[in-house]
């Protein structure tokens, strides 16, 4: 059995007797017998570190790691600089709790302040929080922060990631907001439907850009429609795309959210990732979760603290703007280090290479009978439709060590390219599919 | 100095090769015009920047961290190694089932361990943190009542000693909160509970041991009262580290629970997350669980219930945190898990007993894994507050206990040593606490000024909130 308890049995007995107990049983003697576990826990015996390592490695070995991936749909394999792992492995940062004691947490607090600044810069917005759980919860929290006494209806486009839509539905089941799904038309949000159904009770409209199918939405136009109705405009964005695409601010958004995973986090079977949230200045006090602010100490020295806590659960309890307590701080740190290491040029380059490669693969697939469905401009994801069943095509790729796109139905596949996919790999996909 | 202030135009790191296909740019109308202002630094400068930030931070690895309610136990190194295996980190969440059998096994095996430890029937790993788990659990309760056509249950009972997340989660789930005052012994006042238990009650949220560190002996009666009025019982697992192997929430009458893997199961908290807040429930709620459950023996597969409340977030939760927790569970096993809890309780009682002649304990009884002291007498006598003592601890290399919580104790300090601290560490901390008490009596002024050895002294929090500076402004 492994153990991380330093005190020996002997020391434990001494400590017990010093405080007046004969045994552990006596120390727990005040707990009523009728609720006590009688015959111990029915779980396996503990193991040495060597055995645990072997056991976990064996489990990991049952997963298949694909050398080449063309699948996105909410989880994106991008290049991760080595310095990211180096920084997030530093134990003073890794093993700390939320920075409640500012005087010994200046490093963590400053890193969050830098993260907030970078997210604002990336999205063009004024204020960022310190992160929430992921892109889907950021979307749900973004919608909740727009709720007003006379505006309790939220509208969301059907072209968002399925997990985002489902999560938003769940949160609305909780908080009682009415949710209207704007249908898809030709792969993008049905703007006519939006125009006809937005009203004085609409609190906000949420769209994703680029959307689930990789398409660019008519984002500026939608923003105008939303604002004319007096509602708030929320955009869910892929942060990598912002290296080259217009920011939510430039499209007129009031709130920008998204999943930060593409910025330096591994795909990791779905988590941990992080949700970023940023907004225009007037909405700052509605943001959920932690926010770090700059201030001074008693000697006038610059320092950082958790601030605007009057929004939060530990102060406001049932009147809080959200229940968020733990967030994804270490992931936010990873994102900061990623953006700093990539720099302005690196971020633009990752975006341009991702979209360029997607366009190359789309054109090559088109040549062999995988018709590209996207009717509008797309970023780094696109949909093909083929006579070849999706399952057959993807199986052929899998046999050659390639994880192909995500099957949307029997004949449609959602593909994704990032800067890590080489021309050679894309040509291999085309070669294999030609044979199918 | 901020990373942006260290930036010099033209510096940077070289990360990507040239593009090997024709460049495609978006149309002008969709092209970014706003300039980016990411820092421009060489890798060496960047690396040193973060090393400097790390030096100005304090983790469990740096020293004693008795932060009550947060279970800051040691984070084993093997957990990190296992969570970094490419077989886990490089797996796409939407891969075909036959290529992710290992990930499913992690979820299934962890579920089996944790259900046995807590007395639950099933568990979801989708919730990303404790508060997210609370919200999930309350939605299960809501779905349960609605499925029975029982729509009059609009209230959740929460004791006034509860964590702030409890009432906040209840509101997110669409409930109003009935706060019940605790009895003089810090436990649930049965009469007050009976008075509010009616057919408008959806459920009760409770921790046991409670937030003052005491085991509520009336627990069976409490859960009976709630069940008697048709409500369900929710267990906030924040304090599970006290009772593993001794009692199980499922045997105390709880129907649904959340755990904090980043507290009880040794995964690091990362300066504020990621955590993991799995939710377990009894059979009567299983059909409403969010996300997927893993089923099968030889070949594993994901199944989703038709009556599921849906998704709480993307994919299957903070998976790598679950990998760490499973590593820990396998290490400790049948004997180690109860021993961890026993020693957590022993260490807390040891500290409490060696301090109670000086410091006033809020409740002078056998405590569980943590205890709460009230410094209100000391403050009256000397002017030194719980905050001052906390800041004095900082000058002694000790992370302070949780301050001013629970709200029902004046000038509260909540101390949770955990089982992974040695007797010497406890003895040293006891001595520091005693020295600070003496200092409070003799030189209160110096405690008002503490800390003095930290990178900054006390910060102006009021100013920070009044004139918020929430980002660096580029000139």
What was the pLDDT predicted at B186?
A: 87
Question: What mean pLDDT value characterizes chain B?
Answer: 97
The 3-state secondary structure of chain B, one letter per residue = CCHHHHCCCCCCCCCCCCCCCCCCCCCHHHECCCCCCCCCCCHHHHHHHHHHHHHCCCCCCCCCCCECCCCCCCCCHHHHHHHCCHHHHCCCCCCCHHHEHHHHHHHHHHHHHHHHHHCCCEEECCCCCHHHHHHHHHHHHHHHHHHCCCCCCCEEEEECCCCCHHHHHHHHCCCEEEEECECCCCCECHHHHHHHCCCCEEEEEECCCCCCCCCCCCHHHHHHHHHHCCCEEEEEHHHHHHCCCCECHHHHCCCEEECCCCCCCCCCCCCCCCCCCCEEECHHHHCCCCCCEEECCCCCEEECCCCCCCCCCCCCCCHHHHHHHHHHHHHHHHHHHHHHHHHHHHHHHHHHHCCCCCCEECCCCCCCCCEEEECHHHHHHHCCCHHHHHHHHHCCCCCCCEECCCCCCCCEEEECCCCCCCHHHHHHHHHHHHHHHHHHHHCHHHHHHCCCCCCCCCECHHHHHHCCCCCCCCC
Report the DSSP beta bridge partners of residue A206.
Answer: A156, A234
What predicted TM-score, i.e. pTM, was given to this entire model? 0.98
Of A312, A317, A419, Cβ closest to residue B16? A419
Domain A82-337 carries which CATH code? 3.40.640.10
Name which of A89, A90, A104 to mutate to probe chain B: the one with the most chain B Cβ atoms within 10 A of its Cβ.
A104
Across the interface, whether the CB atoms of B172 and A55 are under 8 A apart is answered no
Summarised one tens digit per residue, pLDDT across range A240-266 is 999 999 999 999 999 999 999 999 999
Across the interface, whether the CB atoms of B26 and A2 are under 8 A apart is answered no
Across the interface, whether the CB atoms of B91 and A317 are under 8 A apart is answered no
Q: Is the model's pLDDT at B163 over the cut of 80?
A: yes
What was the pLDDT predicted at A1?
A: 77
Fold type of domain B336-461: 3.90.1150
The alpha carbon of residue A166 is apart from the nearest alpha carbon of chain B, in Å, by 6
What was the pLDDT predicted at A311?
A: 81
CA B249 to chain centre: 18
Give the whole-angstrom CA distance, residue B394 versus residue A102.
Answer: 10
What share of chain A in percent tops pLDDT 90?
95
Across the interface, whether the CB atoms of A339 and B74 are under 8 A apart is answered no
Of B39, B96, B459, Cβ closest to residue A102? B459
Quote the tokens at residue B284: 């009567």
Element housing A296 (H / E): strand A292-296
Q: Which residue of A has its CA nearest to B169?
A: A323
ipTM summary value:
0.98
Name which of B168, B220, B342 to mutate to probe chain A: the one with the most chain A Cβ atoms within 10 A of its Cβ.
B168
Q: Is B73 on the interface with A (CB under 8 A)?
A: yes
**Selected residues 420-439 of chain B with any CB under 8 Å from a CB in chain A:** 420-423
Judging contacts by C-beta atoms under 8 Å, the chain A residues touching residue B138 are: 174
Across the interface, whether the CB atoms of A266 and B15 are under 8 A apart is answered no
Q: Is B177 on the interface with A (CB under 8 A)?
A: yes
Q: Is A363 on the interface with B (CB under 8 A)?
A: no
Across the interface, whether the CB atoms of A170 and B311 are under 8 A apart is answered yes
What was the pLDDT predicted at A248?
A: 98
Summarised one tens digit per residue, pLDDT across range B234-292 is 999 999 999 999 999 999 999 999 999 999 999 999 999 999 999 999 999 999 999 99
Summarised one tens digit per residue, pLDDT across range B72-128 is 999 999 999 999 999 999 999 999 999 999 999 999 999 999 999 999 999 999 999
Summarised one tens digit per residue, pLDDT across range A210-225 is 999 999 999 999 999 9
Find the mean pLDDT for residues B196-200.
97
**Selected residues 198-227 of chain A with any CB under 8 Å from a CB in chain B:** 216, 219-220
Residues 6+ apart with CB under 8 A from B208: B215, B216, B219, B235, B239, B243, B249, B252
What was the pLDDT predicted at B138?
A: 98
CATH 3.40.640.10 residue spans of chain B? 78-331
Of A45, A96, A304, Cβ closest to residue B334? A45
Task: Evaluate whether B27 touches B61 at the Cβ level (below 8 Å).
Answer: no
Across the interface, whether the CB atoms of A59 and B51 are under 8 A apart is answered no
The alpha carbon of residue A118 is apart from the nearest alpha carbon of chain B, in Å, by 7
Domain B78-331 carries which CATH code? 3.40.640.10
Q: Is B63 on the interface with A (CB under 8 A)?
A: no
Indicate the burial class of B358 (C-beta count within 10 angstroms; 0-12, 13-18, 19 or more). middle
What was the pLDDT predicted at B456?
A: 98
Task: Evaluate whether A414 touches A381 at the Cβ level (below 8 Å).
Answer: yes
Q: Is A22 on the interface with B (CB under 8 A)?
A: no
Q: Is the model's pLDDT at A368 over the cut of 90?
A: yes
Q: How confident is the model at residue A128 (pLDDT cuts 50, 70, 90)?
A: very high
Give the whole-angstrom CA distance, residue A135 versus residue A138.
Answer: 5
CATH of A68-78+343-435, one of 3.40.718.10, 3.90.1150.10, 3.40.50.2300, 3.40.50.300: 3.90.1150.10
In chain A, domain spans: 9-50, 68-78+343-435, 82-337
Q: Is A178 on the interface with B (CB under 8 A)?
A: no
Residues 6+ apart with CB under 8 A from A356: B19, B21, B22, B23, B24
Q: Is A390 on the interface with B (CB under 8 A)?
A: no
Q: Which residue of A has its CA nearest to B254?
A: A35
What was the pLDDT predicted at A374?
A: 96
Judging contacts by C-beta atoms under 8 Å, the chain A residues touching residue B167 are: 313, 317-318
Q: Is A8 on the interface with B (CB under 8 A)?
A: no
Across the interface, whether the CB atoms of A326 and B262 are under 8 A apart is answered yes
Cα angle: B359, vertex B362, B365; to 5 degrees: 100
Across the interface, whether the CB atoms of A290 and B272 are under 8 A apart is answered yes
Element housing A118 (H / E): helix A106-123
CATH 3.90.1150.10 residue spans of chain B? 336-461
Cα angle: B309, vertex B314, B317; to 5 degrees: 90
Name which of B171, B470, B472 to mutate to probe chain A: the one with the most chain A Cβ atoms within 10 A of its Cβ.
B470
Question: What mean pLDDT value characterizes chain A?
Answer: 97
Summarised one tens digit per residue, pLDDT across range A72-113 is 999 999 999 999 999 999 999 999 999 999 999 999 999 999
- Residue B425 CB: number of other CB atoms within 10 A? 18
Q: Is B455 on the interface with A (CB under 8 A)?
A: yes
């Amino acid at each position: 059995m492994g153990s991380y308890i330093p005190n020996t049995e002997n020391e434990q007995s001494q400590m017990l007797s010093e405080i007046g107990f004969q045994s552990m049983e006596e120390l727990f003697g005040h707990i009523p017998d009728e609720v006590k576990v009688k015959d111990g826990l029915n779980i396996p015996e503990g193991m040495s570190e060597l055995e645990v390592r072997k056991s976990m490695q064996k489990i990991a070995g049952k997963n298949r790691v694909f050398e080449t991936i063309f699948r996105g749909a909410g989880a994106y394999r991008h290049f991760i600089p080595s310095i990211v792992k180096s920084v997030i492995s530093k134990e003073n940062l890794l093993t700390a709790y939320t920075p409640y004691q500012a005087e010994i947490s200046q490093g963590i607090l400053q890193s969050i302040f830098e993260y907030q600044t970078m997210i604002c810069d990336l999205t063009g917005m004024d204020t960022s929080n310190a992160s929430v759980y992921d892109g889907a919860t950021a979307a749900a929290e973004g919608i909740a922060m727009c709720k007003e006494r006379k505006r309790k209806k939220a509208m969301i486009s059907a072209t968002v990631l399925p997990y985002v839509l489902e999560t938003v539905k769940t949160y609305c089941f909780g908080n009682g907001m009415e949710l209207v799904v704007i249908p898809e038309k030709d792969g993008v949000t049905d703007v006519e439907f939006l125009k006809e159904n937005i009203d004085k009770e609409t609190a906000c409209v949420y769209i994703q850009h680029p959307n689930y199918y990789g398409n660019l939405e008519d984002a500026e136009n939608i923003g105008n429609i939303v604002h004319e109705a007096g509602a708030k405009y929320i955009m869910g964005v892929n942060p990598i795309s912002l290296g080259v695409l217009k920011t939510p601010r430039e499209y007129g958004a009031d709130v920008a959210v998204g999943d930060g995973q593409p910025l330096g986090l591994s795909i990791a079977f779905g988590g941990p990732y992080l949700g970023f949230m940023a907004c225009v200045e007037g909405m700052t006090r509605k943001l959920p979760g932690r926010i770090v602010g700059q201030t001074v100490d008693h000697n006038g020295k610059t320092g950082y603290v958790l601030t605007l806590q009057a929004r939060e659960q530990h102060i406001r309890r049932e009147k809080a703007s959200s229940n968020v307590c733990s967030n994804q701080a270490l992931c936010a740190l990873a994102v900061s280090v990623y953006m700093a290491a990539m720099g302005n040029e690196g971020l633009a380059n990752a975006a341009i290479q991702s979209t360029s490669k997607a366009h190359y693969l789309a054109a090559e697939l088109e040549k062999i009978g995988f018709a590209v469905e996207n009717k509008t401009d797309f970023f780094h994801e696109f949909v093909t439709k083929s006579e070849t069943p999706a399952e057959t095509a993807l199986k052929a790729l899998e046999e050659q060590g390639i994880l192909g796109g995500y099957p949307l139905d029997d004949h449609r596949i959602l593909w994704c390219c990032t800067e890590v996919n080489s021309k050679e790999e894309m040509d291999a996909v085309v070669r294999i599919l030609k044979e199918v | 100095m901020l990373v942006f202030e260290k930036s010099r135009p033209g510096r940077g790191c070289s990360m990507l090769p040239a593009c090997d296909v024709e460049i495609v740019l978006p149309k002008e109308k969709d092209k970014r015009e706003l300039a980016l202002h990411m820092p421009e630094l060489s890798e060496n400068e960047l690396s040193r920047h973060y090393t400097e930030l790390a030096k100005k931070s304090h983790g469990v690895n740096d020293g004693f961290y008795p932060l009550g309610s947060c279970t800051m136990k040691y984070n084993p190194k093997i957990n990190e190694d296992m969570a970094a295996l490419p077989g886990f980190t490089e797996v796409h969440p939407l891969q075909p089932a036959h290529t992710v059998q290992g990930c499913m096994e992690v979820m299934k095996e962890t579920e089996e361990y944790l259900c046995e430890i807590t007395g639950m029937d099933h568990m979801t790993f989708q919730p990303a943190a404790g508060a997210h788990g609370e919200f999930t659990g309350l939605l299960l309760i809501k779905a349960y009542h609605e499925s029975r056509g029982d729509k009059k249950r609009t209230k959740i009972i929460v004791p006034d000693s509860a964590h702030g997340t409890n009432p906040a989660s209840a509101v997110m789930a669409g409930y109003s909160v009935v706060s019940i005052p605790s009895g003089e012994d810090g436990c649930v006042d049965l009469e007050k509970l009976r008075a509010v238990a009616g057919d408008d009650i959806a459920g009760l949220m409770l921790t046991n041991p409670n937030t003052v560190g005491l085991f509520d002996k009336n627990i069976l009666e409490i859960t009976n009262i709630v069940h008697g009025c048709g409500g369900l019982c929710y267990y906030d697992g924040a304090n599970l580290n006290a009772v593993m192997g001794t009692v199980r929430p499922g045997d105390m009458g709880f129907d649904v629970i959340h755990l904090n893997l980043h507290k009880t199961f040794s995964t690091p908290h990362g300066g504020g997350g990621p955590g993991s807040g799995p939710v377990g429930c009894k059979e009567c709620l299983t059909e409403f669980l969010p996300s997927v459950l893993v089923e099968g023996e030889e070949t594993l597969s994901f199944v989703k219930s038709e009556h599921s409340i849906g998704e709480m977030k993307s994919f299957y939760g903070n998976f790598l945190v679950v990998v760490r927790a499973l590593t820990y569970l396998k290490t400790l096993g049948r004997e180690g898990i109860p021993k961890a809890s026993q020693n957590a309780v022993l260490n807390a009682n040891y500290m409490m007993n060696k301090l109670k002649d000086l410091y006033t304990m809020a409740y002078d009884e056998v405590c569980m894994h943590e205890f709460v002291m009230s410094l209100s007498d000391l403050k009256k006598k000397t002017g030194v507050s719980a905050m001052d003592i906390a800041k004095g601890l900082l000058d002694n290399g000790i992370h302070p206990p949780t301050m001013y919580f629970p709200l029902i104790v004046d000038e509260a300090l909540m101390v949770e040593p955990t089982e992974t601290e040695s007797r010497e560490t406890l003895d040293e901390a006891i001595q520091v606490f005693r020295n600070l008490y003496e200092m409070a009596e003799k030189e209160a002024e110096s405690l008002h000024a503490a800390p003095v050895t930290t990178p900054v002294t006390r910060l102006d929090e009021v100013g920070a909130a009044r004139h918020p500076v929430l980002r660096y402004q580029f000139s």
